[in-house]
Amino acid sequence: MAKFPEDSSERELLRALQENSQRSLRELSRQLELPISTVHEKIKRLERDGFIRGYRAILDERKLGFTVTGFILVSVNYSAAPKATQADIAAKAAKLPNVQEVHIIAGEWDFLVKAKARSIEELGKLVTERLRNIPGVEKTLSIITYETVREDSLLSL
């Protein structure tokens, strides 16, 4: 496993790319006060070493009609799916439409699902018709958000 970049310019580069990955090499080079070739090499190394997993557009879910965010706690019954592990069942949940995150957690519940939907009814169908029908899912508890104050994937480097 590659070590966290000790080079402060690599950390600065990661910060800059998190904020806006569409910046040109020229802009990044100017901001970091490094030659373009050095910036390009650092980006390639950070990608190769897995520090940068990909690039994507961040969509405005509200403008696209996804106005409901739900967090669903899931409990597993292992006798209902004797050969499945917690990770296997969580992986099946992760493949469902509109599921954004799945986290295996400690405590009374086995994993947590975050999903977006266009309506409460759509989220309800995701839970009752899809998630609960995964072999091994015993029960769920849905938490619907009223408002999202902060939702971000930026890391403090």
Provide block-wise average pLDDT over 10 residues at a time, the chain (157 residues).
Answer: 75 94 95 95 94 93 96 94 92 97 97 98 98 97 95 86
pLDDT attached to residue 154: 85
Whether the CB-CB separation of 80 and 135 falls below 8 Å is answered with yes
Whether the CB-CB separation of 122 and 68 falls below 8 Å is answered with yes
Query: Between 3.30.70.920, 3.90.1150.10, 1.20.200.10, 1.25.40.10, what CATH number should domain 68-144 receive?
Result: 3.30.70.920
pLDDT attached to residue 144: 97
Q: What is the residue extent of each domain of the chain?
A: 8-48, 68-144
Q: Which residues contact 38 (CB under 8 A, 6 or more apart)?
A: 29
Residues facing 140 on adjacent strands? 74
Q: Which residues contact 107 (CB under 8 A, 6 or more apart)?
A: none
pLDDT attached to residue 27: 96
Bridge pairing between strands 99-104 and 111-117: antiparallel
Whether the CB-CB separation of 113 and 72 falls below 8 Å is answered with yes
CA atoms of 144 and 135, how far apart (whole Å): 24
Domain 8-48 has CATH 1.10.10.10: yes
pTM of this prediction? 0.86
CA atoms of 136 and 140, how far apart (whole Å): 12
Identify the three-state secondary structure at position 137: strand
Q: Is the dihedral of CA 146, 148, 153, 157 positive or negative?
A: negative
